[in-house]
Amino acid sequence: MRKCDELLKLKRDLIGVEIGVLAGVHAQEMLENLDIKKLYLVDPYISYRASDRLVLRKEMLLAKKEAEERLAEYKNRLVWLVKTSVEANQDIEDESLDFVYIDGCHRYRFVFQDISLWTPKVKKGGLVGGHDWTTQTVREAVEDYCQDNKIKFKQDESDWWFEK
């Protein structure tokens, strides 16, 4: 994940947020590879419609349990916000984060909304990024947001990011 290399340049004691935790795989990767002081984990763990099926709350709660087990050794650095991205955004002060990693709902309007809502929460020089660059709706939302705001972004096979 090249984005980790970009984050390593920021500083020590990073404070960040992951939007869309699911089973905690990306959170674990960040915690293992970065000097993170605090990581907010935002996921409402509710039913939602994926592109090809309905994901039930029962499945989401199993994913949450898996995330809690996977991330147990890091619990003193985690703040769980079991809320929607919009709700959790109200709990975080502007310019208080070093990074945000967006991997929530991949529908265009939600990706665009997450970038719009969470970018102000990141300090100048921090990173806004996310996963699933290969998903058309994610790619379009990132491109549109960055074009609208005259921001140059980077991407690799699976991730995208820009410096604030």
Question: What pLDDT digit, counting tens, does each position of 97-139 carry?
Answer: 999 999 998 999 999 999 999 999 999 999 999 999 999 999 9
In order of 4, 18, 54, the CA distances from 123 in angstroms are 17, 16, 36
In order of 34, 44, 53, 155, the CA distances from 83 in angstroms are 25, 4, 22, 28
* pLDDT for residue 1: 46
pTM of the model: 0.90
